Amino acid sequence: MSAPHSPVGAVGPAGRAAAPGRTLIVSNRLPVTARIVGGEVRLQESDGGLATGLRSVHEDQGGLWIGWSGLTDRAALRGHHVIASRLHDVGALSVPLSEEEVAGYYRGFSNSALWPVLHDCLRQPLVGGRDWELYRAVNERYADVVAEHLRAGDRVWIHDFHLMLLPRLVRDRCPGARIGLFLHTPFPPAESFATLPEASALLEGVLGANLIGFHTRDYGRHFTAAVKLILGRPTANYETEADAHQPSVFTCPMGIDVPFFAAWTRKPAVITEAAQIRGDCGGPLFVGIDRLDYTKGIAERLRAFERLLELEPGLRGRARLIQVAVPSREDASGYTENRRTVEALVARINHRYGDDEWTPVEYRYRRVDTATLVALYRAADVMLVTPVCDGMNLVAKEFVACRDDEDGVLVLSSWAGAAAELHAAVLTDPNNLDDLVRAYRAALEMSAVERRVRMRHLRLTVETHDVFQWSKRFLEALGGPVGHFAGNKPRLTGRESAGLRVLHESDGHRPVADWRRGRAG
Ligand code: ADP
Ligand code: F6P
């Protein structure tokens, strides 16, 4: 299928485009998102872990980032030049989408059908066949744009669940291309994934890639099991004559841009704002920062905070929770209900326990700028990262990167991919109210020495496995040129499973040993 629209934007800042062996990053979301505000086109940095994490990699490497600007093609017409020039500045190119496509491909199939299944939340209703058609059509459009811009020596790095058909579609158009796919979500047990009528088509799409990346080994294991269960691929027999390539599954947990956050913590404005946030109430400050998504466990977190106040009268009038929730996917299934639940809980807690002097929960329903984000991380006594299911969760890592004072406690859900690395956090199961309350209490009662020991462990992990190391490892495993990243190649060991090579790192990344063995307090 040929592209019905021509792409908006340009190939990138002067000089970069001409460099051989580029990495073409391909994702639904670009590093900037266009919105119409008061009749005018505004561009702002995109929210979400993929955009914030990959932005640093893309800035470091150059290359080209292909994605959607956030506006439908009709709305984008008005700001065509502004959008094109801003995207040009950041080395990006926009794939235009119509209103119908955004409704079916993004809000419909991606966010209302695929997202809940990938997070193993089968409570969300599945959607109709038209959404699937539009998902396919948009993936085809992306494939045309990629094929149009791909040059000899380039490699293609596709991201996330919106584009699961794309590896195969690019492979059909460019059989020799090096193609990587990184899935930023969890991958559920094979039986859960099999509930999607489109499961086999999606898996076939993914298997067009040379390298398929996941944040944790469990997700990779589930994917491999799904290939076996759903496609019935006999073990070690995947390679076909037509493809002559063998896709590999690679565990590669994403990190963050640590120096970026470290630099922000030193800014005087951030230090002042952190002090203002703490104020002079003298009680402990809990902080939560998330996209407003039902997978983030915000309602569970609030219920546990309410229970804590119920059980501990001494905290009333003192303890505070600041919950920042950035609006997200407001028209997709499940999001409005979740927002209502969260806001009703905030109102109930403040009504039950608040008074003229003290508001237990401060709820900010908006995006905050980097200074405020970092000030909140610095001000928190207890950082609450309690998703019921989350591919990785970069907020947990950002909090740690901002705490060079070696203080503050991270309460982290075992259901976040980050828990596989951040063992020195206070781990909890957000589905269990009592366990969440236990974790809150453990954080409040923790000695200063224990906080420091845990934070040191956490910081070591976050600093040594940052976003640059993540992309370097993925791209080296994918093969082809690796830009100007320095360092040794990871040593990979492989084994066969469902005809996929499953690669494990043996490059010295050892999970932090059970911190309790090194306990100092
Ligand atoms: P997800 O990708 O599901 O949104 P992550 O935790 O991996 O979850 O990444 C979220 C990213 O969005 C982080 O970089 C975080 O700093 C940012 N973010 C989350 N909430 C807000 C907010 N209210 N204001 C500004 N940035 C936010
Ligand atoms: O974590 C999954 C994810 O798709 C990220 O990759 C992305 O950054 C985030 O959710 C934000 O979602 P959206 O692009 O729908 O706003």
Q: Around Cβ 85, how many Cβ atoms within 10 Å?
A: 12
pLDDT of residue 508: 32
Distance CA 488, CA 340 (A): 50
Atom 14, ligand 2: residue with shortest CA distance: 29
Distance 158 CA to ligand 2 centre (A): 14
- Name the residue of 25, 114, 184, 470 to mutate for ligand 2: max ligand atoms within 8 A of Cβ: 184
Residue 292 has pLDDT above 80, yes or no: yes
The pLDDT value given to residue 447: 98
Distance 320 CA to ligand 2 centre (A): 29
| Chain segment 464-504, per-residue pLDDT in tens | 999 999 999 999 999 854 443 333 334 444 555 555 666 65
Residue closest by Cα to atom 8 of ligand 2:
48
Residue 293 alpha carbon, nearest atom of ligand 1: 3
Q: What is the Cα–Cα distance from 4 to 53, expressed in whole angstroms?
A: 31
Task: Ligand 1: list residues with CB < 6 Å.
Answer: 47-50, 52, 289-291, 324, 326, 367-368, 373, 392-395, 398
| 73 vs 501, higher pLDDT | 73
Q: What is the pLDDT of residue 24?
A: 95
Determine the distance separating the centroid of ligand 2 and the alpha carbon of 70, expressed in angstroms. Answer: 12
Closest residue by CA, ligand 1 atom 16: 395
For the CA of 49, the nearest atom of ligand 2: 8
Mean pLDDT taken over the chain: 85
Largest CA distance in the chain: 73
Look up tokens 């994403």; give the residue: 254
Percent of the residues in the chain that have a pLDDT greater than 90, as a whole number? 69
> Side chain identity at 242, as an amino acid letter?
A
Residue that has been written with the tokens 């008061």 in this structure = 38
Mean pLDDT throughout 61-70?
A: 89
**Residue 56 confidence class, pLDDT cut points 50, 70, 90:** confident
pLDDT tens-digit readout, 228-287: 999 997 543 343 333 445 789 999 999 999 999 999 999 999 999 999 999 876 899 999
Measured CA to CA in angstroms, residue 332 lies from 363, 393, 471 at distances of 22, 21, 30
For ligand 2, residues with CB inside 6 Å are 28-29, 47-51, 160, 184-185, 291, 328-329, 391
398-442 residue pLDDT tens: 999 999 999 999 999 999 999 999 999 999 999 999 999 999 999
| Residue 284: predicted pLDDT | 97
Q: Hey, which of 47, 398, 413 would you mutate to test ligand 1's pocket, going by the most ligand atoms within 8 Å of its Cβ?
A: 47
pLDDT of residue 503: 63
The rounded distance, in Å, linking the Cα atoms of 497 and 228 is 9
Instruction: Name the residue among 65, 56, 101, 57 with its Cα closest to residue 86.
Output: 65
pLDDT digits (tens, 9 = 90+) for 122-177: 655 566 689 999 999 999 999 999 999 999 999 999 999 999 999 999 999 999 99
Output the pLDDT for position 179.
95
Could you report the per-residue pLDDT of 383-399, keeping only the tens digit for each? 999 999 999 999 999 99
In this model, does residue 510 exceed pLDDT 80? no
Reported as type and span, the H/E element at residue 383 is: strand 382-385
State residue 36's pLDDT score: 78
